Amino acid sequence: MNTMSKRMFILFHGRFPSEKAASLFAAKSAEAFVLKDVEVTLVVPQRRDVPPLNPFDFYGVKHTFGIIYLSIVDLFGKAPAFVAFWMSYIAFSVSSVLYIRKTAHPDDVIYSNEALPLFFTSFFHGNCFYEMHDFPESKMFFFGWLLSRMRWVLVHNEWKVQQVLKKFPKFRGKIIMERNAVDINAFNVNLSKVEVRKKLNLPEDVVLVLYTGHLYRWKGVYTLVDAARMMPRNVLFVLVGGTEKDIIALKEYAKDVQGIMFMGHRSHHEIPLWQAAADLLVLPNSAEEKISAFYTSPMKLFEYMASKRPIVVTDLPSIREIAGDDTATVVAPDDARGLAAGIEMTLADIRGSEAKAEKGYAWVSEHTWDKRASRILAFVQL
């Protein structure tokens, strides 16, 4: 079929724009599908706590897709978080159905990683495409019902594919496995490490170990702080990202550590510069929660690999699918001493570490947003 005549509606229940990876994922996916000649409308909730920013500038994406903000019951900041979320989620699900019924044509694709809005929509629209980001082990009845109503299902790591097919083998023909992606060109920084550090006001005479992303406990950042305590004085740990609440908590935990800097949240278009300033990038995910060990397909790791910098990662199934011993230094999770040793070993073998980084770059070059969109559209035969 000719994609020029095709339309896609992407349903995303979350603040847009925001610092969350899921919000970035929605923007990058929408842009990539448009570049494949699909008309895309991103459907998001209207929330009071969204900063007054241009989302296209915020994410560095082209202004090629439409954005529709739907009214919801917005109790964020006024009610307990659990209540506010579910009131918003249900309202958005209903509003999405009403909007799709009014706007979409029968052959348009309704695409989302939001289970409830897509489930409701599936009773009125046949071309529903579910991208599964979590694995709801406690909701198997609903999950099976949801999958039965989808025309296509995307699962973004091998572990989840195996689990889905083990529980629902009859859905094999509608499932595609497709990992997350990265904008390779955005991470080709044409400045030297020294020039980038000057631009970012970072010291030039240190070994710089960088972490970017949220500061949730399952991200392993407390183990990273413990590792920083063991490192020589010439090694500086720089943490970019995190909410104000999480930064305060981690700063308190790290108050006795000299070689650590908290830079706070930065716009996504700045992240390539920060990573280009680093000698080493670290992803210390914990094994203590399943979201970290099994469910995730971390966009951060794709971005690390696109930066052509040596990487230290923890040995988890979700990470091993992306980075292994030939592309990174792999250490045991939740082990500060092992993490510190892995960092020291990587820094001591710069030539070998850079060779691994080159292999990582070659691998991630096949996982751009553009190539991802092409494979997805081929699967749905758009």
The answer to whether 130 touches 29, Cβ cutoff 8 Å, is no
What is the pLDDT at residue 5? Answer: 66
Strand 175-177 relative to strand 152-155, pairing: parallel
Per the prediction, the chain carries an average pLDDT of 93
Do residues 253 and 300 share a domain?
Answer: yes
Q: Which domain holds residue 67?
A: 3-181+367-380
- 41-to-60, 125, 223, 377 alpha-carbon distances in Å: 17, 16, 41, 16
- Give the H/E segment covering residue 250: helix 244-253
Do residues 38 and 99 share a domain?
Answer: yes
User: What is the domain-level CATH number for residue 8?
Assistant: 3.40.50.2000
Do residues 48 and 96 share a domain?
Answer: yes
Do residues 191 and 175 share a domain?
Answer: no
Q: How do residues 243-254 score in pLDDT, each as one tens digit?
A: 899 999 999 999
Share of the chain above pLDDT 70, in %: 99
Do residues 133 and 230 share a domain?
Answer: no
Do residues 192 and 170 share a domain?
Answer: no
Do residues 375 and 296 share a domain?
Answer: no
What is the pLDDT at residue 267? Answer: 85
Q: How do residues 347-359 score in pLDDT, each as one tens digit?
A: 999 899 999 999 9
Do residues 161 and 276 share a domain?
Answer: no
Beta strands in 96-216 (DSSP E): 109-112, 128-132, 152-155, 175-177, 207-212
- Number of domain units in the chain: 2
- 230-to-236, 339, 343, 350 alpha-carbon distances in Å: 12, 10, 11, 20
What is the pLDDT at residue 189? Answer: 94
Residue 60 pLDDT grade (very low, low, confident, very high; cuts 50, 70, 90): confident
Q: How do residues 201-241 score in pLDDT, each as one tens digit?
A: 999 999 999 999 999 999 999 999 999 999 998 999 999 99
Q: What is the distance between the alpha carbons of residues 142 and 193, in angstroms, rounded to a whole number?
A: 51
Residue 4 pLDDT grade (very low, low, confident, very high; cuts 50, 70, 90): very low
Q: What is the distance between the alpha carbons of residues 20 and 244, in angstroms, rounded to a whole number?
A: 14
Q: What is the distance between the alpha carbons of residues 313 and 300, in angstroms, rounded to a whole number?
A: 11
What is the pLDDT at residue 382? Answer: 75
Query: pTM here?
Result: 0.90
Do residues 141 and 231 share a domain?
Answer: no
Do residues 213 and 120 share a domain?
Answer: no
Do residues 137 and 48 share a domain?
Answer: yes
* pLDDT over threshold 90, residue 368: yes
The answer to whether 236 touches 209, Cβ cutoff 8 Å, is yes
What is the pLDDT at residue 182? Answer: 95
- Give the H/E segment covering residue 312: strand 311-314
Do residues 190 and 156 share a domain?
Answer: no
What is the pLDDT at residue 139? Answer: 79
* pLDDT over threshold 90, residue 28: yes
What is the pLDDT at residue 2? Answer: 42
What is the pLDDT at residue 31? Answer: 96
Mean pLDDT of 109-133: 96
